[in-house]
């Protein structure tokens, strides 16, 4: 498959939230106040993080909310990505809240098994966020079309593997090495954490370019939502990796 046909098939970003086609966005007629800015996107990400932590507090104290939180969050993510990116301002806060509930409950269960693992996962997630943001802003990491193609392919491969494992679990089977705490399982988790982390670079680039091009204001919410999707994934993978390491 040639580079361009792969791009046409898989979209133009690693993050599924960015696979929509925004190439026809005409922003020349928009007044300055109605254009996307970096400040706006960062502030909205902070709002979503605050909501996610509030949801996590609820989920921690009421673990029964884990499954509904996860399902509703998943549906809201699909709605935001495929149905109404322009309504991200309405759906993204609820997505953050419900995903927070799920993460809070999951972290509580992990803490019961391995005390102190939750704060380690949170610290590592935000540590990776800050260090990759620095690398992106300073130009140490430069996302190109090839970089994006590599991340898209790896992300889709991982999602496909997880889907097959999920389907196989209904038949009492599964892909063993994904969940094992052996060297191969830990290596796989490290690879997934690396890919999830590199998706952050694509998110930063989207927000930077969106602000540069002066996209409509609602794209601030969409950019913040996309960053949240990646952060939630990264946190889950780091938690899984730490659990594997602690169980050895």
Across the chain, where does the E strand assignment appear?
Answer: none
Site for another protein in 68-87 (CB under 8 A): none
Q: Are 47 and 227 in contact (CB under 8 A)?
A: no
Eight-state DSSP code of residue 216 = B
Taking CB under 8 A as the criterion, the residue among 47, 58, 90, 133 binding another protein is: 133
Helix axes 218-246, 38-61, angle to 10 degrees: 50
Q: Which DSSP string corresponds to 124-137?
A: HHHHHHHHHHHHHH
Q: 80 and 99 in contact (C-beta within 8 Å)?
A: no
- Would you count residue 8 as binding another protein (CB under 8 A)? no
* Residue among 69, 70, 103, 148 that touches another protein (CB under 8 A): 148
Q: Binding residue for another protein (CB under 8 A) from 6, 71, 145, 176?
A: 145
If one asks whether residue 28 binds another protein (CB under 8 A), the answer comes out as no
Contacting residues for 33 by C-beta, under 8 A, at least 6 apart: 217
Query: Quick one: which of 2, 28, 29, 144 contacts another protein (CB under 8 A)?
Result: 144
Contact with another protein (CB under 8 A) among 138, 170, 172, 248: 138
Q: Compute the least distance from the CB of residue 8 to another protein, in Å.
A: 13
**Stretch of 23-31, 54-62, 167-175, 186-194 lying at the interface with another protein (CB under 8 A):** 23-31
Q: Shortest Cβ distance from residue 171 to another protein (Å)?
A: 39
Query: What sign does the dihedral 216-218-221-226 (CA atoms) show?
Result: negative
Residue 18, SS3? Answer: helix
Non-local CB neighbours of 220 within 8 Å, separated by 6+ positions: 36, 37, 40, 41, 44
Burial-class residue 21 by CB neighbours within 10 Å (0-12, 13-18, 19+).
exposed
What's the min distance (Å) between Cβ of 165 and another protein? 30
# residues near another protein by CB under 8 A: 45
Choice from 208, 217, 218, 246 touching another protein (CB under 8 A)? 208
Report the interface residues with another protein, using CB under 8 A. Answer: 12-13, 18, 22-25, 38-39, 41-42, 45-46, 49, 116, 119-120, 122-124, 126-127, 129-131, 133-134, 136-139, 142-145, 147-148, 202, 205-206, 208-209, 212-213, 215
């Amino acid at each position: 498959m040639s580079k361009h046909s792969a791009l046409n098939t898989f979209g133009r970003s690693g993050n599924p939230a960015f696979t929509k086609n925004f190439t026809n966005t005409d922003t020349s007629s928009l007044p300055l106040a109605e254009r996307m800015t970096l400040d706006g996107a960062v502030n909205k990400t902070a709002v979503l993080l605050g909501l996610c932590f509030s949801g996590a507090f609820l989920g921690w104290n009421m673990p029964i909310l884990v499954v509904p939180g996860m399902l509703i969050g998943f549906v809201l993510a699909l709605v935001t990505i495929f149905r109404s990116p322009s309504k991200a301002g309405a759906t993204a806060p609820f997505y953050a809240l419900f995903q927070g509930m799920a993460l809070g409950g999951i972290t509580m269960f992990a803490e019961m098994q391995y005390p102190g693992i939750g704060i380690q996962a949170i610290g590592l997630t935000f540590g990776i966020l800050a260090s990759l943001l620095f690398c992106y802003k300073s130009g140490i990491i430069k996302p190109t079309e090839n970089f994006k193609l590599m991340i898209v392919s790896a992300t889709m491969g991982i999602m496909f593997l997880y889907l097959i494992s999920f389907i196989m679990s209904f038949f009492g089977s599964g892909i063993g090495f994904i969940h094992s705490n052996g060297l191969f399982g830990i290596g796989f988790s490290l690879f997934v954490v690396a890919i999830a982390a590199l998706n952050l670079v694509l998110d930063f680039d989207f927000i930077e370019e969106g602000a540069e091009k002066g996209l409509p204001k609602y794209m601030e919410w969409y950019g913040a939502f996309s960053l949240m999707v990646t952060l939630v994934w990264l946190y889950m993978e780091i938690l899984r990796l730490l659990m594997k390491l602690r169980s050895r």
